[in-house]
Amino acid sequence: MQMDKLRFDNSSDIWFVEGHRTLEARKRFNEAFGSDELSYLLFTSETTPFTPENFRLIGELARAFEESVPYVKRVIWLGNAERISGRGNEVHIEAFFSPPPATAAEIERKLNEALAEPSFAGDLISPDKTALPMIIEFDNYPPKEEDLSPQQTVVDAIDAVLARPRFAPLKPYVSGAPHFNIDYSLLVKRDMSKLSGLVVVVQMILLFFFARDLRGVVVPLAITITAVCWTLGTIGLLGITLNLLSTALPTILICVCIGDAMHGIAAFYREMRQGVSRTEALGRAFAEVGMALLLTSFTTAIGFLAYLSCDVVPYREMGVYVAIGVVYAVVLTFVLTPVFYSFGNEEPVRKKEVKTEALFSRWLQFCHRQVVLRPKTIVFCFSAVMLINS
């Protein structure tokens, strides 16, 4: 239920260091001139013929944007542009299209006049007279407490106006910062969903390869996916926002947290091969690896919480999110693994050691011997690598 409250912050400000002079300069600019974001609509003679009726519709569309789209400062296009001219010692400002064109010939004449205006040509009309842009300017967006995603608000309002049956004959191309950022965010979230699904499939294959047991596949994945859902629910409950970096959260948690359950399950099977009951095997297994799981999860969480020292907000938030997920994963491991393995056949699982598993075991034993027999050398090499990469 709390996952429904998740909010996405796709503003560019979050990627700057808090208090950076760039943000201060932008704030002063916005206070003086309004928002620096613009939305663009491009009408082409191919998709929207430049007829008197379509010109009237485009004018109505501009007024509809000003009335219905939040935070709009003004809407500019050739049909409501003003021409500035000098006559003697006077400056005259007049509407370029006054009155609106009634015939195709008038439109053609006005388009030719527009090309002769330096302030129009290239901005409000293309050099070949086949494209007319419409520019939507915005006032400053409100604080995030009032509207977390003003870009989404603007995009929804613009799309709603364009979807009105009255404007169906108009076929503009829509662009600008609000639409670009929202569409980019949707693409990233869609691709990350696919990547998360692919990660789950790969994990299933690896789990089946090592566990050779359906329960050994289902239980670790169920624990990890539950931890991911709980983490997202906690984010929604606390009112914290997600951002583009947060879309990698499910993938990170799946990779980081799935090992907790696997360690407990491996220890359980090792005890079962000694001929003890399931209850006793579970007790011995978690007595053996329980403290190690707690310590590794604790150090992993602390490591990600180190991101709190970063000045960039998305990295700080990601550290908190992953730390929460790691804690949930280890708690679920201690609670759910004994439950799922407390029933079933008492006969211990006997699996043949294939060549690849034997090679993997020998490699782990080699690493263990090196760490135990040469601790100073390991510490020295690790420190040297850290210094070189720092």
SS (H, E, C) 166-186: HHCCCCCEEEEHHHHHHHHHH
Q: Does the residue 39 lie in any domain?
A: yes
Q: Does the residue 18 lie in any domain?
A: no
| Co-location of 250 and 167 in the same domain | no
The residue range of the domain holding 93 is 34-171
Nearest to 268 by CA among 329, 221, 336: 336
Instruction: Give the Cα separation of 219 and 238 in Å (integer).
Output: 28
Last residue of a domain, one of 145, 171, 197: 171
Instruction: Give the Cα separation of 333 and 38 in Å (integer).
Output: 50
Give the whole-number percent of the chain exceeding pLDDT 70: 94
Q: Does the residue 4 lie in any domain?
A: no
| Co-location of 157 and 216 in the same domain | no
Burial (CB count <10 Å: 0-12, 13-18, 19+), residue 301:
buried
Nearest to 333 by CA among 367, 370, 301, 289: 289
Query: Hey, is 153 helix, strand or coil?
Result: helix
Nearest to 61 by CA among 179, 177, 168: 168
Token code pair at residue 364: 């782990």
Q: Does the residue 351 lie in any domain?
A: yes
Q: Which residues contact 178 (CB under 8 A, 6 or more apart)?
A: 37, 39, 151, 152, 154, 155, 158
The pLDDT value given to residue 213: 80
Q: Does the residue 290 lie in any domain?
A: yes
Q: Does the residue 186 lie in any domain?
A: no
Instruction: Give the Cα separation of 379 and 299 in Å (integer).
Output: 18
The amino acid present at 207, given as its one-letter code, is L
- H and E: helices and strands count for the chain: 11, 8
Instruction: Give the Cα separation of 66 and 62 in Å (integer).
Output: 6
Question: Which residues of the chain carry a pLDDT beneath 50?
Answer: 353-354
The pLDDT value given to residue 90: 82
The pLDDT value given to residue 2: 54
The pLDDT value given to residue 347: 55
Q: Does the residue 317 lie in any domain?
A: yes
Question: How, if at all, do strands 7-8 and 241-242 pair?
Answer: parallel
Last residue of a domain, one of 121, 147, 171: 171
CA distances from 186 to 37, 40, 152 (A): 19, 20, 11
DSSP 342: S
The pLDDT value given to residue 390: 67
User: What residues pair up with 44 in beta bridges, in sequence order?
Assistant: 131
| Co-location of 268 and 363 in the same domain | yes
φ/ψ of residue 34, rounded to 5: 90, -175
Would you give the end-to-end CA distance of the chain in angstroms? 44
The pLDDT value given to residue 346: 59
Q: How many CB atoms lie within 10 A of CB 373?
A: 9
Instruction: Give the Cα separation of 207 and 228 in Å (integer).
Output: 18
The pLDDT value given to residue 239: 76
The pLDDT value given to residue 63: 95
* Cβ(300)–Cβ(229) below 8 Å: no
Q: How many CB atoms lie within 10 A of CB 99?
A: 7
Helix (H) / strand (E) containing 157: helix 150-162
**Longest Cα separation, the chain:** 108
Q: Does the residue 20 lie in any domain?
A: no
User: What residues pair up with 289 in beta bridges, in sequence order?
Assistant: none
**Residue 373's CATH number:** 1.20.1640.10
The pLDDT value given to residue 238: 81
Instruction: Domain count for the chain, please give it.
Output: 2
CA angle 60, 63, 68 (to 5 degrees): 120
Looking at beta carbons, which pairs linking 303-308 to residues 24 or more positions away fall under 8 Å? none
Last residue of a domain, one of 171, 203, 219: 171
| Co-location of 269 and 357 in the same domain | yes
Token code pair at residue 172: 């503009």
The pLDDT value given to residue 357: 55
pTM for the structure as a whole: 0.70
The pLDDT value given to residue 165: 96
